[in-house]
Amino acid sequence: MTGYDACSLQPNAGSAGELAGLLAIRAYHRSRGDDARDVCLIPASAHGTNAASAVLAGLRVVVVNCGPDGAVDTGDLRAKLTAHDGRVAAIMVTYPSTNGVYEETITDVADLVHEAGGQVYIDGANLNALAGVASPALLGGDVSHLNLHKTFCIPHGGGGPGVGPVAAKAHLAPFLPARSSQEGTGTVPGTQVAGAPYGSAGILPISWAYIAMMGAAGLRRATQVAVLSANYVARRLAPYFPVVYAGRDGLVAHECIVDLRRLPGGITVEDVAKRLIDYGFHAPTMSFPVAGTFMIEPTESESLAELDAFCDALIAVRAEVDKVASGEWDTADNPLKNAPHTAEMLIAADWSHPYRRDEGGYPGGHGGGGLASGRAKYWPPVRRIDQAYGDRHLVCACQPPQAYE
């Protein structure tokens, strides 16, 4: 699926896989006497872990701008390559990009970096939009990490364990962490990223079984469904929340970024995110990679009914925004600003808000988080928390140590 020649299963997370890939690149350059190469080019749309991994690997981060289409600005890339001539170690690029588009210049980007003596790191975070259709190596990549939690079925989050295998072409294989899939590789010191040679090996049978059961046709089908689902959501929501970036023919890749930056009535992206909870949905990724937006990534896992319920909820919220903008609802005291609504809030004896209780807790009527989709009502346990205040004024909810004496 990757087109690479060797793979190390040692990294315990995608972030560790990034570090392993960059350490392999550094070791490769040093083996050629190219110690001066210490610059890692990173597009402005990249995941934050890319820059963090580059710094951990001892590289200097230089940001490459993206154009109005969300793709890497090749003109700015050329300028950065010239400005750091002889010092570029690598570029870290995500494909499809975090902006939700298949960048048609990806092979041009790879060629330019290779001509400058650098290596191409293709972040495998979005491999679920490539598996069975194309490969990172085919696009010009030299090394990639794979997020098994996303494309290959292992659990995500909760503190681990995780696995972030790193795969590479033959010339980088000797510099991968020890015990790679190729005999005799991984012998260079300083490239280890975990104590166990195969990382969190207990997780790997899940991904193996998934690949074995899906087969080549099934994996390709999953990729096609993920891309189709994202485009379906983008088309349904576009009249209400414009899509920020799109590729040829207005199509997106596996995710779409919808714009909530210019909503009327003083409503913000955070208000919409909190209001979605009343409809029974956790908000999509908020304000990344573009502030004031939702990045919506349905993957291949959601049914058409679930996608429709989600789109219906967002469209209904947009109608509520219009009620605030028109003056039907108060700009400061309305269901969006007060969302989410807890059961405790709704059954309290005192109700001083200018809208009805059922408008707050059962938007659009009973059932389906207020929609006629048959979804069970979800009750949030707490109301809104001021995110910035909470980040800066942590409060420990646990008992003091004396309680355990």
pLDDT at 184: 45
Last residue of a domain, one of 205, 221, 237: 205
Within a domain: 255: no
Q: Kindly tell me if the per-residue pLDDT of 366 is higher than 70.
A: no
Pair 283, 162 in one domain? no
Residue 353, in any domain of the structure: yes
> Would the pLDDT of 404 be above 80?
no
Alpha helix ranges (H) inside 348-393: 357-361, 387-392
Residues 275 and 341 in one domain: yes
Name the range with the highest mean pLDDT among 201-205, 211-215, 282-286.
211-215
Question: Which one has a higher pLDDT value, 197 or 36?
Answer: 36
Look-up of token digits 């949030």 = 380
Weakest-pLDDT range from 253-257, 370-374, 377-381:
370-374
User: Which residue, of 182, 205, 228, is where some domain finishes?
Assistant: 205
CATH number of the domain bearing residue 276: 3.90.1150
Question: How far is Cα 5 from Cα 161, in angstroms, rounded to an integer?
Answer: 26
Domain end call among 174, 205, 236: 205
CATH code where residue 32 lies: 3.40.640.10
Determine, yes or no, domain membership for 249: no
Provide long-range contacts, Cβ within 8 A and 24+ apart, for 275-278.
Answer: 275/317, 275/320, 275/335, 275/336, 275/339, 275/340, 275/363, 276/313, 276/314, 276/317, 277/339, 277/340, 277/378, 277/380, 278/335, 278/339, 278/340, 278/341, 278/360, 278/361, 278/363, 278/369, 278/370, 278/380
Question: Length of the chain in residues, anyone?
Answer: 405
Given this model, what pLDDT does residue 370 score?
Answer: 47
pLDDT tens track for 185-196: 445 777 889 888
- The token pair at 306 is 């679930």
Decide: 142 and 169 in contact? Cβ < 8 Å.
yes
User: Is residue 357 located within the same domain as residue 273?
Assistant: yes
How large is the average pLDDT for residues 87-93?
Answer: 98
For residues 185 and 330, membership in a common domain is answered with no
Residue 194 lies inside a defined structural domain of this protein:
yes
Q: What gap in Å lies between CA 405 and CA 400, rounded to an integer?
A: 10
Mark whether 87 and 158 lie in a shared domain. yes
More confident residue, 367 or 259: 259
> Which helix (H) or strand (E) covers residue 210, if one does?
helix 204-237
pLDDT of 238 reads 97
Q: What are the pLDDT digits (tens) for 134-180?
A: 999 999 999 999 999 889 998 876 666 788 999 999 999 999 997 54
Neighbours of 86 (CB within 10 A): 10
Residue 269 shares a structural domain with residue 153: no
What is the Cα–Cα distance from 339 to 369, expressed in whole angstroms? Answer: 13
190 and 48 in one domain?
yes
Domain extent, residue 30, equals 6-205
Question: Which pLDDT belongs to residue 157?
Answer: 64
Considering the domain boundaries, does residue 72 fall inside one?
yes
Q: Are residues 40 and 118 located together in one domain of the fold?
A: yes
User: What digits encode the pLDDT tens for the residues 92-147?
Assistant: 999 999 899 999 999 999 999 999 999 999 999 999 999 999 999 999 999 999 99
Domain annotation covers residue 402: no
Per-residue pLDDT tens digits for 290-310: 999 999 999 999 999 999 999
Q: Is the pLDDT of residue 233 over 90?
A: yes
The torsion angles phi and psi of 42, rounded to 5 degrees, stand at -135, 120
Q: Is residue 275 part of a domain?
A: yes
The total number of structural domains in the chain stands at: 2
Rounded CA-CA distance 122/110 in Å is 10
Which pTM does this prediction carry? Answer: 0.90
Report the distance separating Cα 294 and Cα 282, nearest Å: 12
Task: Give percent of the chain above pLDDT 90.
Answer: 75
46 assigned to some structural domain = yes
Residue 44's nearest CA partner among 17, 74, 71 is 71
Residues 320 and 200 in one domain: no
Give 368 or 355, the one with higher predicted confidence. Answer: 355
What pLDDT sits at residue 179? Answer: 56
Question: Which three-class secondary structure state does DSSP give residue 351?
Answer: coil
CA neighbours closer than 13 Å in the CB half-sphere of residue 172: 30
Q: Cα–Cα distance between 221 and 225 in angstroms, integer?
A: 6
